[in-house]
Amino acid sequence: MDIREVGVIGLGTMGAGIAEVFARGGLVVTAVEADAAALDRGLTALSASLARAESRGKLAADERARIAALIRPAPSIGSLAGADLVIEVVPERLPVKRQVLAELDQVCRPDAVIATNTSSLSVTAIAAGSAHPGRVVGMHFFNPAPVMALVEVVTTVLTDPAVTTAVSELAASLGKTPVAVGDRAGFVANALLLPYLNHAVRLAETGHATREDIDTAATAGIGLPMGPLALLDLIGLDTSLAILDVLDREFGGTRYTPAPLLRRLTDAGRTGRKSGGGFYDYPAAARGPGGTSTGENADQPAPPGTVTLIDATATAGSGDPAGSGDLAGLIAAAGINLTRNPVHPTDLVVIALGPAGGALGPALAADRAADAVGVHLASPGLAELVPTALTSARALAAGRALLARLGLKVVCCADRPGLLVGALLYPHLRDAVVMVADGYARPADVDAAMTLGCGYPRGPMRMLAEVGPDRAVGVLGAMHAGYGDPAFAPPPLLTEYAMAGLSPVGRGER
């Protein structure tokens, strides 16, 4: 199949990005958007993206003009008669998408490919709205489309194999990596990404941590390119909610049931960057993708002169080594007096924690509860600061000052199993293992989806291999015991990896 002329229906965030990708690949693009204001916004976003590429030296001025000239706006589907491929990027509502496909049946050549960029709806159900379901295929791009390499190619039992091949070859010719996935809710990437984002919203709405700390935990603690709340703002809260609703219907359980705050913000029109605000505010000039400023606290009190260090795992047996040796080394290197004897009077008691948390017991045992904070060295350079229910405001401020003096980035969270980095990370790794255990995707597919689609430096199965399945079992077990939520229970395949000493990414690798 020779694909030279394409149609893009819907010029929202994704539609504009996809139109840009096609035009950059030299294809003639008819961009259909019935709503004049939406068309205007889409074309503005598109030209801003091209201008940005030019200003960064990625695109020559004449090239930019050539790309822009390939994009032809049109008010109706009637303009798509000559298209070799049409992709619909209209809102995630099945009746709307089926209506679009029915209209395309009237307009397009019988051999034209009809692609849907649905993020979660059944491609089979969408295809059933077409008189020619064999030519319907899922072609799922990731936001920002010009940057993210992954295209999930979703086939149904009805899809003509020649159509699948044509779409995969087209994606490759546009510089993308096509990955074939089955028609299951959320495909691979969204089925893993969205429950993780949803959990982050729950952590924010329950006051477990601030939005900034949640995002820092993901970037500095896990190494992801964006924090989950900033990413929700980029994807769009309404889009994310629609995907979660589908996942919830398909899979059920707390990982997928949309957090109430997500629905409230969507209802309030705070749908993210595109509306000027979501979890964060975006002045008009800053609506393009990128980081958000998180405002560091300005005035720090002086760090404590003397510190008592207590190892929580030594007293409470909470499993994972708490890294009190590392912490002791850092404190001593900063020239701060350190004792491990709880009866010595000191300015601050630091309970060295593992990712399972549990500062209150050791603090009470030392009879210094008001003076005590928990600290977990979550990753090189990042500390989790954990007040207990009895920690005084003075001790919390002293803990913050101490960690700043040690040169550590700090996130603060409630003393709950998983703390903050672990609460985000381990259930996410669990979801990936469950997907593999279901036989839906291989470890390599899971990792490719998340690295190419979501910019992860390493995929979840690789991350699991690095942290160790036994550690994941430990933290998930503590979360399951603490919250009673089966969504945190270590799945049998994970326990098997841990017991058998097997690598989640394959034999011989660790």
Smallest gap from residue 18 Cβ to ligand CAA (A): 11
Smallest gap from residue 322 Cβ to ligand CAA (A): 32
Cα–Cα distance for residue pair 18/259, rounded to 1 Å: 29
Binding part of the chain for ligand CAA, among 48-56, 341-349, 389-397, 484-492 by CB under 6 A, reads 48-56
The verdict on 12 binding ligand CAA (CB under 6 A) reads no
Q: Which is nearer to ligand CAA, 1 or 286 (CB)?
A: 286
Cα–Cα distance for residue pair 509/504, rounded to 1 Å: 8
Q: Which is nearer to ligand CAA, 5 or 88 (CB)?
A: 88
Q: Which is nearer to ligand CAA, 120 or 159 (CB)?
A: 120
Strand arrangement, sheet containing 71-74: 71-74, 28-32, 5-9, 85-88, 113-116, 136-140, 150-154, 177-181
Q: φ, ψ for residue 102 (rounded to 5)?
A: -65, -40
The verdict on 455 binding ligand CAA (CB under 6 A) reads yes
Q: Which is nearer to ligand CAA, 49 or 130 (CB)?
A: 49
Cα–Cα distance for residue pair 255/202, rounded to 1 Å: 10
Binding mask 99-128 toward ligand CAA (x if CB under 6 A, else -) reads --------------------x---------
CA 61 vs. chain centroid, Å, equals: 34
Q: Which is nearer to ligand CAA, 197 or 310 (CB)?
A: 197
Smallest gap from residue 231 Cβ to ligand CAA (A): 5
The verdict on 453 binding ligand CAA (CB under 6 A) reads yes
Q: Using the rule CB under 6 A, which residue among 2, 56, 110, 484 binds ligand CAA? A: 56
Is position 376 annotated as part of the catalytic site? no
Question: Distances in Å between the alpha carbon of 366 and those of 304, 343, 358, 377?
Answer: 18, 8, 14, 21
Q: Which is nearer to ligand CAA, 20 or 384 (CB)?
A: 20
Q: Which is catalytic among the residues 49, 117, 119, 503? A: 119
Smallest gap from residue 355 Cβ to ligand CAA (A): 24
Smallest gap from residue 374 Cβ to ligand CAA (A): 31
Binding mask 189-228 toward ligand CAA (x if CB under 6 A, else -) reads -x--x-------------------------------xx--
Binding mask 58-87 toward ligand CAA (x if CB under 6 A, else -) reads x-----------------------------
Interactions with ligand CAA, residue window 125-184 (CB under 6 A): 142-144, 146-148
Is position 132 annotated as part of the catalytic site? no
Q: Which is catalytic among the residues 33, 88, 152, 384? A: 152
Identify whether 427 is preceded by a cis peptide bond (ω within 30 of 0): no
Cα–Cα distance for residue pair 310/361, rounded to 1 Å: 11
Smallest gap from residue 441 Cβ to ligand CAA (A): 16
Place of tokens 């889009």: 239
- Maximum Cα–Cα distance across the chain: 84
Residues in CB range of 253: below 8 A, 6 or more apart: 486, 487
Q: Which is nearer to ligand CAA, 197 or 316 (CB)?
A: 197
Is position 496 annotated as part of the catalytic site? no
Cα–Cα distance for residue pair 101/106, rounded to 1 Å: 9
In the chain, the amino acid numbered 409 is: K
Smallest gap from residue 141 Cβ to ligand CAA (A): 7
Smallest gap from residue 331 Cβ to ligand CAA (A): 34
Place of tokens 């990982």: 255
The verdict on 290 binding ligand CAA (CB under 6 A) reads yes
The verdict on 442 binding ligand CAA (CB under 6 A) reads no
In the chain, the amino acid numbered 256 is: Y
Cα–Cα distance for residue pair 229/449, rounded to 1 Å: 20
Interactions with ligand CAA, residue window 309-368 (CB under 6 A): none
DSSP secondary structure letters along 414-473: -S-TTTTHHHHHHHHHHHHHHHHHTTSS-HHHHHHHHHHHH--SS-HHHHHHHH-HHHHH
Is position 318 annotated as part of the catalytic site? no
Number of H-type helices and E-type strands within the chain: 20, 14
DSSP secondary structure letters along 312-326: HHHHH--SS---HHH
Binding mask 226-265 toward ligand CAA (x if CB under 6 A, else -) reads x----x---x---x--------------------------
Helix spans in 312-410 (H) = 312-316, 324-333, 360-365, 393-405
Q: Which residues are at the interface with ligand CAA (CB under 6 A)?
A: 49, 52-53, 56, 58, 119, 142-144, 146-148, 190, 193, 225-226, 231, 235, 239, 288-291, 453-455
Catalytic residues: 119, 140, 152, 190
